[in-house]
Chain A
């Protein structure tokens, strides 16, 4: 019976997906529960802050600069038609602070730091380092997972803020220095349009949520990876794909909540 087989496949897939989501949620709560030691022994978290935050600095800064410069060019071309080139500053700043800063920085973070986290933990599992820790009565979640989680959560808003700041500078370089938009109206229109609480703090909150989502996905995929070379590579791919999709979907939900056009 082909119909019964189709239903079986659908049922199996659904059960699998729900099971994995439940496992990920349980994993997230366990991480939160055992994260005391990542603050008591803060050097563990500092070490992970180095490999996730500091090592992502270059890609974030270079990408931010170029995104800002492209925004400056494209924005100028469009605004010129309506004779409102002076609004370039507010356009560049608003699109960076509200959307592009948190989202693009999170996408870069997922592919730069998230994939590395998954591969590292997956390989630890494949080489039975995690089992060895359990044998020594060391909780692997407290020792390995929680410091990485908090490093990701702390570094993501900082990276997004740097992305936006460098992007605004890139827009300034192209708009004011190269094209010659008036410098005074560039900054004053920007300051008139960008609100600290509504725009900047909401952007920081977005990047905080994205940082949490990306690190949980990356750590869970690594912890859950089949302990083979193939399994680790598959888990790394899944981390990048899933976290990118989750970032974009969460961004829509958060934007709908934060900016309801009032």
Chain B
């Protein structure tokens, strides 16, 4: 085969391979949907995080506004410290409420932010004071059974 046709085909092959990689990154992966450049960090303490994991999404009114970056146990309070990075475009009041929620009955856990009415906004490195822990399914079932046995037998 002539050298120019050879070069042409190899060029098509390499460009096709790289295009497939880019398509995987943008369309299949999360590179196209979430830009990490413009964020600010906020932390919050939870008494129980349930199944929350790093990189879990943070939503407000159902819209993705950030990701969980770090989860550690604070040994002074024996509570979980969750560091979140939020998109710079979205500012939240100081008295924002952070809940750990579950998408669907058995789905992934995420943090839901409910904005309060404070006029001051959360800044980088500040802490969300009002939090609500994850609902652990076993505890719920335990409470339910306990309540049932308390009822007088008719």
Interface residues of A (CB under 8 A from B): 43, 46-47, 49-50, 53-54, 57, 93, 97, 154-155, 157-159, 161-162, 164-166, 168, 187, 190-192, 194-196, 199-200, 204
Which B residues are in CB contact (< 8 Å) with A168? 24, 27-28
By beta carbon, the residue of chain A nearest B33 is: A191
CB atoms of B13 and A187 under 8 A apart: no
For residue B28, which residues in chain A have a CB less than 8 angstroms away from its CB? Answer: 93, 97, 164-165, 168, 190-191, 194, 200
Q: In the complex, given contacts A46-B7, A46-B10, A191-B32, what are 19 additional A-B residue pairs having Cβ atoms less than 8 angstroms apart?
A: A49-B14, A54-B10, A54-B12, A97-B28, A158-B16, A158-B18, A158-B20, A158-B21, A161-B21, A165-B28, A168-B28, A192-B30, A194-B28, A194-B29, A194-B30, A195-B29, A195-B55, A196-B30, A200-B25
The contact of B31 among A166, A196, A204, by CB within 8 Å, is: A196
Q: Say whether chain B's binding surface is mostly helix, strand, loop, or mixed.
A: helix
Q: How far is the CA of A195 from the CA of B17 in the complex (A)?
A: 19
A204 to B33, CA, bound (A): 21
* A50 B9 Cβ-Cβ under 8 A: yes
Instruction: Place the interface of chain B in its size category.
Output: 20 to 34
Contact of B13 among A43, A57, A199 (CB under 8 A): A57
Q: How far is the CB of B41 from chain A (nearest CB, A)?
A: 20
Chain B hits for A43, CB < 8 A: 3
B6 on the interface (CB 8 Å rule)?
A: yes
Partner of B20, one of A47, A164, A199: A164
Measured in the bound complex, the distance between the Cα atoms of B15 and A162 in whole Å is 11
Q: List 10 A-B contacts (CB under 8 A).
A: A53-B14, A54-B9, A155-B13, A161-B21, A164-B20, A164-B24, A191-B28, A196-B25, A200-B21, A200-B29
On whether the beta carbons of B17 and A159 are closer than 8 Å, the reply is yes
B5 to chain A: closest residue by CB: A50
B27: A residues at CB distance < 8 A: 168, 187, 191
Closest to A151 in B: B10
Contacts of A155 in B (CB 8 A): 13, 17
User: Which residues in A have their C-beta under 8 angstroms from that of B12?
Assistant: 54
Cα distance A158–B19 in the bound complex, in angstroms: 9
- Complex formed: what's the CA distance from A157 to B10 in Å? 15
Q: Which 10 A-B pairs have the closest CB atoms?
A: A158-B17, A165-B20, A161-B20, A196-B29, A162-B20, A196-B31, A161-B21, A194-B29, A54-B13, A49-B10
B121 at the interface (CB under 8 A from A): no
Interface centre among B25, B27, B29 (most CB of A within 10 A): B29
Most chain A CB neighbours (cut-off 10 Å) among B1, B6, B57:
B6
Q: Is the CB of A157 within 8 A of B25?
A: no
Contacts of B137 in A (CB 8 A): none
What is the distance, in angstroms, from B23's C-beta to the closest C-beta of chain A? 5
Q: How far is the CA of A43 from the CA of B6 in the complex (A)?
A: 9
* B20 engages A50 (CB within 8 Å): no
Q: Which residue of A lies closest to B23 (CB)?
A: A165
Q: Which residue of A lies closest to B31 (CB)?
A: A196
Q: Cα distance A162–B21 when bound, in Å?
A: 7
